[in-house]
Amino acid sequence: MSTAGELATGAEAPFWQALQDGRLSLQRCAGCGTWHWPAVWRCSACGGWEHAWEDVPMRGEIYTWTRNWHSFGGLEALEKPFVIVVVKLDGADGARLMGILEGDTSDVAIGCKVTGRVGQTLYADRSVPAIRWSRA
Amino acid sequence: MKGIAAIAGVGLRQYKRAEAPLPERGVLVRAVVDACEDAGFDPADVDGFATYGDDKNEPVRLMSDLGTKDLSWSSQVFGGGGGGIAAAFGQAVGAIATGQAKAVIVFRALAQGDSGRLSAAVMAHHLNAHMIGAGLVAPAQVCALRAQRMFEHFGVPRGTVEAFVRAANYHGEHNPEAVAYGKPFAEEAYRTARWISEPFRLLDCSRENDGAGALLVVSAERARDLRKPPVHILAVAQGAATGWGDLLENDDDDQYASAGFRAVASRLWARSGLTPKDIDVAQVYENFSAQGVASLIDHGFCDYDDVAEFCRFENLIAPSGRLPINTAGGNLAQGFIHGIGMPVEAVRQLRSESANPVPGAKTCLLAGGPGAPIVSSAIFGTEETLG
């Protein structure tokens, strides 16, 4: 699995391109306006094949979280413990994105408001662009 | 489906992780021969194979050892986790019903020296840049996220999960073949074990063993002529509902914290004509403790409102709990060969061979690996249940 190959292909390629430019961009059906995440080739709501990619603010609330203590292979560069969050976006019809919560994580809870910035996660010898969230 | 096929023999070989005396395929051959001997059946007459969870042992490679006369059918359920375990029995029934095979071995084999760590193999099936970016690289973390929402948002008391773990350990403590044999459940050790990924501590996580399990499935009619009482496959269901699957943590809001069985469980009950009240004993696959409780909820034994009442230790143990679960110890306390010990225990219960018997048990639920994109469940029954 090569990061470059993975990011350049697939229905979600524009997501990665935007992320590398520091933006969050998500997919919306050009026909009926339905938001799609994960990205699709075909809109199952209207049968359309054309999609637009719209910038979405990196803002939302914590949908769920886990504080990770175990040293799983490949994540040696991340200081433990670290908190993984699933964030429900304010926009994009509430699509959820995964990420790491930075800053103060002591009183993390479902429903906390967060904002994001684009960072990088080192996994083994790969660097993957990823959203870092922090309490709003 | 009822009355078509039955399990006639079981074989299970379990070792400590990375300590199998033979390579994976060798252990598997042992288990297949054990299952055939249990049934009084010639291994050379096995003509079909079904498995799940990305098992690497192609049945065609077993032919020389088994003396297979004619390999006429083999199949594998999609998915890297244990979600497909019950579905493999459904495939076997389908093959027998349509004449594509007469004697099918359902199997799973795992030896770290050959297949590496199971958690890594399961994860390789799903891992992508979204997950890596979030530091999400192991099944424990994914299940932890879902369990946290079940606890924090839906208010499921953590004591329900401890009761589940305690019941599994209680059964393991009294099963000579279990890793927990002779070891009483140490409550304090459970509560203070090191964190893996909150809300999971070490003893909330199934720890894999080396080994192999095999179950011989033949027509119900043929099973009656073999050595042991037939255990009938009454119903099987597999799949995923809309809004459940490999969705980057975007499962529908009402399914996210579940074990993923909503559609599967309703099909299972509809096909069997049974309800949760008709189940005498259950083998509930628990990769992680909370997912076992979520699976009980999904299957309709209880819901968020009464889970605390249902999931109490006394209710979950043999011989006389309301629903004895994981009566050999389950993945947590019997041992974990990707779940294959659980259908073996289901068969032993219905033949009165369990180390923790549930007297008079006629039906046993097998709930497959929870939280997987594709999940499956089955109901097994004694001759009496054919009615």
Tell me, what's the pLDDT at B80?
A: 86
Are B257 and B41 in contact by the 8 Å Cβ rule? The answer is: no
Which chain A residues are closer than 8 Å to B129 by Cβ?
Answer: 3, 6-7, 16, 128
Which chain B residues are closer than 8 Å to A128 by Cβ?
Answer: 129, 132-133
**Is the predicted pLDDT of residue A4 greater than 90, yes or no?**
no
B236-to-A79, B100, B239, B341 alpha-carbon distances in Å = 45, 19, 11, 18
Are B14 and B337 in contact by the 8 Å Cβ rule? The answer is: yes
Q: Which pair of structure tokens corresponds to residue A62?
A: 């914590």
pTM above 0.95, yes or no: yes
CA angle centred on A128, ends A122 and A134, rounded to 5°: 80
Assign A6 a pLDDT band (cuts: 50, 70, 90): low
Tell me, what's the pLDDT at A134?
A: 98
**B4/B215 Cα distance (integer angstroms):** 16
Nearest CA in chain B to A68: B197
Among A32, A26, A29, residue whose Cα is nearest residue A12: A26
**B302/B156 Cα distance (integer angstroms):** 11
Instruction: Please report, to the nearest 10 degrees, the dihedral formed by the alpha carbons of residues B86, B62, B75, B78 taken in order.
Output: 70
Which chain B residues are closer than 8 Å to A68 by Cβ?
Answer: 135, 141, 144, 196-198
Nearest CA in chain B to A75: B135
* Better pLDDT: A124 or B326: B326
Residue B384, classified by CB atoms within 10 Å of its CB into exposed (0-12), middle (13-18) or buried (19+), is exposed
Q: Does B144 touch chain A (CB under 8 A)?
A: yes
Considering only the C-alpha atoms of chain A, give the largest distance between any 2 of them, rounded to a whole number of Å.
Answer: 46
Asked whether the beta carbons of residue A98 and residue B131 sit closer than 8 angstroms, the reply is yes
Q: Does B352 touch chain A (CB under 8 A)?
A: no
Instruction: Write the ipTM.
Output: 0.96
Residue B245, classified by CB atoms within 10 Å of its CB into exposed (0-12), middle (13-18) or buried (19+), is middle
Considering only the C-alpha atoms of chain B, give the largest distance between any 2 of them, rounded to a whole number of Å.
Answer: 57
**B268/B284 Cα distance (integer angstroms):** 15
Tell me, what's the pLDDT at B92?
A: 98
Q: In what order do the strands lie in the sheet with B231-239?
A: B73-76, B48-51, B103-110, B210-219, B5-15, B231-239, B375-381, B363-367, B281-284
Among B229, B218, B224, residue whose Cα is nearest residue B47: B218
Assign A126 a pLDDT band (cuts: 50, 70, 90): confident
Query: Which residue in B128, B130, B142 has the most chain A C-beta atoms within 10 A of its own C-beta, making it the best mutation to test that interface?
Result: B130
Write out pLDDT tens, residues A37-81. Answer: 999 999 999 999 999 999 999 999 999 999 999 999 999 999 999
Tell me, what's the pLDDT at A1?
A: 41
**A59/A67 Cα distance (integer angstroms):** 21
Q: Which pair of structure tokens corresponds to residue B192?
A: 């203070």
Provide the shortest C-alpha distance from residue B257 to chain A (in Å).
10
Are B179 and B329 in contact by the 8 Å Cβ rule? The answer is: yes
Assign A5 a pLDDT band (cuts: 50, 70, 90): low
Task: Please give the full DSSP string across B205-217, using - where no structure is assigned.
Answer: B--B-EEEEEEEE
pLDDT means per 10 residues in chain B (387 residues)? 97 93 95 98 98 96 97 96 96 98 97 84 83 95 98 98 98 97 97 98 94 98 98 98 95 97 97 98 97 98 98 98 98 96 98 98 98 97 96
